[in-house]
Structure 1
Amino acid sequence: MMKIRRGFRAVAVLAAAGALSLGLSGCTTYDTTSPSAARKASADDGKAGPARFGTVDCRKAKCVALTFDAGPSENSPRLLDILKDKKVPATFFLLGKNHIADHPDLVKRMAREGHELASHTWDHKILTDIDDAQIRDEFRRTDDAVEKLTGKRPTLMRPPQGRTDDHVGELAKEEGLAQILWDVTTKDYTTTDSALIQKRAVEQTKRDSIILLHDIYKGTVPAVPGIIDALKQKGYVFVTVPQLLAPGKAEPGKVYKP
């Protein structure tokens, strides 16, 4: 594990969801576990489950995970078509208000087509700024909605703006949720230039990367085919976040980050 101390500055717009390193007076402290450490810990404790998910063993393959925040949106059908055509699974961190609530059929389609569905909370409130009851509500409303639509309750959560701390982790553990951060951000909330989004993703990606994208922004979905093709040419294999951690399993309350 690695101890992290980061400061954050409050940002009022959803677009800042990728700004993990923004400054703020005061700091938060939390531990993170890398995908490789999760895989090793599972093997070391002698309780490892099946070594493979499907045909991919990320202990041997150059795995990466595509993740999309804050959907579904009107752009999601095209994205799902692309992922299906490219035979690439993704992890969707879904937002409740105005997204899950407005696009239930897309949530069902994501699940049906083999993608991992996770939570990005209900109303995108900054979890470190609200009280315990509100945090629990942000978790439960989203998880309840996804479970009602798909029959499966999320086990993964991404905190808005990546802002979390040990106390948020404790509450996430109570709800059976592990927190998933990222190491690759295209800052697609700052540009509609799909070529630039593709360039940023490809240049930053390494083995075990978790790539942060948003299917709510105009330039993002058109960049996805190029990202997939370029990374496949480099020998990368696309997996969901649970597949990336296998044979380890995301533990509730923990924070995972490459």
Structure 2
Amino acid sequence: MFTKTFAPLLLPLLLSLAQWSGASTPRAIVYTSCVVPRTAALTFDDGPYIYMTTISDLLTSKGAKGTFFTETTVGLSQAASNAESLPDDCIYGSKTVARLQHAYGQGHQIASHTWSHPNLDDLNATQITEEFMRIDVALKKILGIQTSFLRPPYGNYNNQVREVAYQLNKTLVTWDFDSQDSLGATPQQSESYYDQAIASSVKTLLALNHETINTTAETLAGYAIDKLQGAGYTLVTVAECLELPPYTVVGTPGQRDETWVCSKKGDKGKRED
């Protein structure tokens, strides 16, 4: 079990959380927009999914950088009818690992979207800590990195979430622009939202997109890149648009072993919704 394996790490953290109270409690910073003028950060949530490489290559081909907020469960529901994805739907699956390493190798930022995409407002400190640490462990094994940034699922967080994030040296990031691709918007509607933002001469843009949406990978991402660059924005990572380091640790990926599984019970590593 994860909590048994990481009990020596969790106990000091949880004891410190239990001792905090009042306005003096340290809490992680939450960013909702970029700070560097004329920058745009395109972000893609809910991967690593089968479209990650398509988006990564598209960004690279256009001289742009992007940020991928990764987790382990949402893509499975989209993959249910896709035979290519089903055998490899765990973040530790060989194809998924290859996608992550490819995007990271191209210089795009990899960040955390928690382990299982819960509403963090509904969790206690122990559960929040596990959500943060478990995805961190996976990315450390796969890429050799410790991420600085975490996007809370649904953009939901409370003071307890910020307190745990602070103790784990995380910066929280939401967004100031939503393409609404995951809410049923057509590509044309999402394109119009980008057009409206550009027409309003926003100084910066921190855009929410989802890499699990095929039309985002095939149509919307390219449109957004071209329009933003054409309007004079520089497309950078979230870390770059905030002038902060993307990772607290940059090292060497681990070697695959029996711990590279998604299930706590050590099954075949299949993600569970």
Q: TM-score, normalised by structure 2?
A: 0.68
Counterpart CA distance in 2 for 1:144 and 1:32 is 23
How many residue pairs get aligned? The number is: 201
Counterpart CA distance in 1 for 2:30 and 2:140 is 27
Task: Identify the residue that residue 100 of structure 1 maps to in structure 2.
Answer: 91
Given the superposition, is the C-alpha separation of residues 169 and 250 from structure 1 closer, same or farther in structure 2, using an over 3 Å criterion? farther
Given the superposition, is the C-alpha separation of residues 239 and 155 from structure 1 closer, same or farther in structure 2, using an over 3 Å criterion? same
Counterpart CA distance in 1 for 2:39 and 2:90 is 29
Q: TM-score, normalised by structure 1?
A: 0.71
Larger radius of gyration: 2
Contact 1:91 1:117 in 2 (8 A): yes
Task: Identify the residue that residue 235 of structure 2 maps to in structure 1.
Answer: 238
Asked if residue 198 in structure 1 is aligned to residue 191 in structure 2, the reply is yes
The equivalent position to 1:177 in structure 2, one of 161, 164, 170, is 170
Given the superposition, is the C-alpha separation of residues 80 and 136 from structure 1 closer, same or farther in structure 2, using an over 3 Å criterion? same
Percent identity among equivalent residues? 28
Counterpart CA distance in 2 for 1:34 and 1:186 is 15
The equivalent position to 1:79 in structure 2, one of 45, 48, 55, is 55
Q: Offset at 1:163? A: 0.3
The equivalent position to 2:112 in structure 1, one of 119, 126, 138, is 119
Given the superposition, is the C-alpha separation of residues 99 and 181 from structure 1 closer, same or farther in structure 2, using an over 3 Å criterion? farther
Contact 2:53 2:103 in 1 (8 A): no
Given the superposition, is the C-alpha separation of residues 145 and 249 from structure 1 closer, same or farther in structure 2, using an over 3 Å criterion? closer
The equivalent position to 1:158 in structure 2, one of 133, 136, 151, is 151
3-state SS, counterpart of residue 204 of structure 2: coil
Q: CA RMSD in A?
A: 2.4
Given the superposition, is the C-alpha separation of residues 236 and 173 from structure 1 closer, same or farther in structure 2, using an over 3 Å criterion? same
Query: In the alignment, residue 120 of structure 2 is paired with which amino acid?
Result: L
Counterpart CA distance in 1 for 2:90 and 2:112 is 12
- 1:123-146 per-residue CA deviation (whole Å, 9 max, x = no partner) reads 111111011111111101111111
Counterpart CA distance in 1 for 2:52 and 2:90 is 11
Deviates more, 1:209-218 or 1:187-196: 187-196
Query: In the alignment, residue 68 of structure 2 is paired with which amino acid?
Result: F
3-state SS, counterpart of residue 101 of structure 1: coil
Asked if residue 69 in structure 1 is aligned to residue 38 in structure 2, the reply is no
